[in-house]
Amino acid sequence: MVGEWVYLNGEFKPYDEACLSVEDRGFLFADGIYEVIYVHRGRAFRMEDHLARLQRSAAAVRLELPRPAADLEAAAGALTARNGLEAEEATVYLELTRGSAPRQHAFPAQPRPTLLMIARKAHRPEPEKLERGVSVITVPDERWHWCHVKSVGLLPNVLAKQQAVESGAFEAVFVRDGRVTEGSSTNLFAVFDGVLWTHPADRWILGGVTRSVVLELAGRLEITVREEAVEASRLGRADELFLTGTTTTVLPVVRVDGRAVGSGEPGPLTRRLQEAYLQELEA
């Protein structure tokens, strides 16, 4: 990765020279949290929202940010510039762990958090997928009960995503107690009779920043919204479905478990929100 820089514990380092301890608790226990921030032509999109969520996640797992939020924002901007991404669509991956200490479950007496940022070109869905839509499968939601914390412990999500890939689908959608929660790396929206449904931002989902933007846009467009879980048995009867996420943006879903959604093509409400989101990003 010649020429690529990362930010590690307050310093900018070449990618190949950045090192983490073999006893970092993020590696040993998944004792850490993260954020992925979209950068549009050098400007971070909704950075304040991402940093606010980072602070909420940190408080939930009793982690202290080693630097003020303003410093993190400045470092993310400087890292993007160092990697020559000012004119690109990029992402900044930020991870915070409880740091390195001899392995024991209890917190170290004097934790020294590890803070890492990586900035790279964004990998958005191909234009064809954004235009024609994608397929998803449903899988049991067997994750822990703190899905609202953006934890690096993502093994259930990884396994679900792999199951989707092996099924020829774009995403796996979780179902808990007969209700749809979210995707393995996305939030899910459904449309029934012109009303937009999505799971409430409680402990069973990660309240996505893109999800919040879409809800704002729906309000501006006077689209009726119900933040309420959809019964899995109703999912196949939705008029429209779409996914949201930092790099997913607003992505139509046209098949669930091999069955067509609505007409089998992206619906009009999805298109309106897709366009409104792109305009918001440009603005």
Q: Which residues are catalytic?
A: 150
Return phi, psi of residue 140, to 5°: -65, 140
- 192-218 burial code (b ≥16 CB/10 A, e <16): eeeebbbbebeebbbbbbbbbbbbebb
Place of tokens 């069955």: 259
As a residue count, the chain comes to 283
Q: How far apart are CA 238 and CA 8, in angstroms?
A: 45
Contact 172, 164 (CB under 8 A): yes
Q: How far apart are CA 253 and CA 131, in angstroms?
A: 10
Q: Among 9, 11, 256, 263, which Cα is nearest to 134's? A: 256
Q: Among 75, 81, 33, 87, which Cα is nearest to 56's? A: 33
Asked whether the CA dihedral 163, 169, 171, 173 is positive or negative, the reply is negative
The DSSP secondary structure of 256-281, one letter per residue, reads ETTEE-TTSS--HHHHHHHHHHHHHH
